[in-house]
């Protein structure tokens, strides 16, 4: 039996979100004979419930109303197609690509996010993906405040067959990153992937810690292609947006990785993240397997939630 394609995995992973958005919209549209304010009110409720976010939902509803007026749309069943098109448009407004930049080599990917969102798992899967592409990869255990984080990365380094640079629990994260950079240079590594601590409850500490790491990278790995990847858990819905806002204040986030999409009806949060925060979603996790972290493709995502 052939392995499922990523689109098939995405379709399966987004089944709860699809039920929350597409199936409910079908139900609403089928119950109306004409397009009126009540229809829009019900659409609005579906989108907000699926964590598309209030601001993004209002924007979408306004855009659809405008098109209905301009294009003289009369039939309720045409509304779904308009919504799909407008979601695709607001998600592609970002001029930047939805791909992680690893060229030119060497590159460094700094991974940030609160504990429990799947940060170490994302790093392990990412390392595995790049190694399978023939890249020379090195991981750095920069979350030194959580012993479990170091152990988890050690486990992933064995699974992926990728070396790990680590210190003892409680060590200075910037010092670990420094050692990682020196090792990457010596070994002519293509991609250096660094974990960082995610203690959001103490924002000033987190900011100081990340700034120290950024200074080390700027000084020691000045020419490397840099990516700062924020990991968010899709199951937390609007809370993921709040986390993203805080991390945007403390770091120049260049991309987002969304985990646990397969376990939630809140996948609409991806629409809100790209639309409101103007930060591209670059990776999505749609399962537990080592190959289940995949590049985010907007068209596939929109198709999967509206199938």
DSSP 2: P
pLDDT of residue 95: 53
pLDDT attached to residue 197: 80
Residue 4 is predicted with a pLDDT of: 67
E strand segments, 34-155: 107-112, 137-140
Distance CA 196, CA 152 (A): 13
- Domains, the chain, ranges and CATH? 6-91 (1.20.120.140), 107-253 (3.40.50.300)
- pLDDT, tens digit (0-9, with 9 covering 90-100), for 6-36: 778 888 888 888 888 888 999 999 999 999 9
User: Which residue positions in the chain have pLDDT lower than 70?
Assistant: 1-4, 94-96, 200-202
Q: Give, for 231, the enclosing helix (H) or strand (E).
A: strand 225-233
- The owner of tokens 């403390």 is 250
pLDDT at 56: 93
CA distance 92 to 76: 26
Residue-level pLDDT at 2: 56
pLDDT of residue 220: 97
User: What's the pLDDT score for residue 205?
Assistant: 80
pLDDT value at position 76? 92
CA proximity to 263, closest of 292, 242, 290, 291: 292
């Amino acid at each position: 039996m052939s392995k499922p394609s990523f689109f098939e995995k995405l379709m399966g992973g987004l089944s709860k979100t699809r039920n929350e958005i597409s199936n409910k919209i079908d139900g609403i549209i089928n119950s109306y004979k004409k397009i009126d304010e009540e229809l829009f009110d019900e659409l609005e409720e579906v989108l907000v419930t699926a964590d598309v976010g209030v601001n993004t939902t209002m924007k979408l509803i306004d855009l659809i109303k405008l098109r209905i007026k301009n294009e003289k749309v009369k039939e309720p069943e045409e509304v779904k197609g308009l919504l799909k098109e407008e979601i695709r448009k607001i998600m592609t407004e970002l001029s930047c690509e939805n791909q992680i930049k690893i060229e030119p080599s060497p590159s460094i990917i700094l991974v940030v996010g609160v504990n429990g969102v799947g940060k170490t798992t994302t790093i392990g899967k990412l390392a595995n993906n790049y190694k399978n592409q023939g890249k020379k990869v090195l991981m750095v255990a920069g979350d030194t405040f959580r012993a479990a984080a170091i152990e988890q990365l050690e486990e992933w380094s064995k699974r992926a067959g990728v070396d790990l640079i680590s210190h003892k629990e409680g060590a200075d994260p910037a010092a670990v990153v420094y050692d990682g950079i020196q090792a990457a240079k010596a070994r002519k590594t293509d991609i250096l992937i660094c974990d960082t601590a995610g203690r959001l409850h103490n924002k000033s500490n987190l900011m100081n810690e990340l700034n120290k790491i950024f200074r080390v990278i700027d000084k020691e790995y000045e020419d490397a292609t840099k990516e700062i990847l924020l990991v968010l858990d899709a199951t937390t819905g609007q809370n993921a947006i709040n986390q993203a806002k805080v991390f945007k204040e403390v770091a120049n986030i260049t991309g987002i990785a969304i985990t646990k999409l397969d376990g939630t009806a809140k996948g609409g949060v991806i629409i809100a993240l790209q639309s409101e925060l103007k930060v591209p979603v670059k990776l999505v996790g749609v399962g537990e397997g080592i190959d289940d972290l995949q590049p985010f493709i907007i068209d596939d995502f929109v198709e999967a939630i509206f199938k």
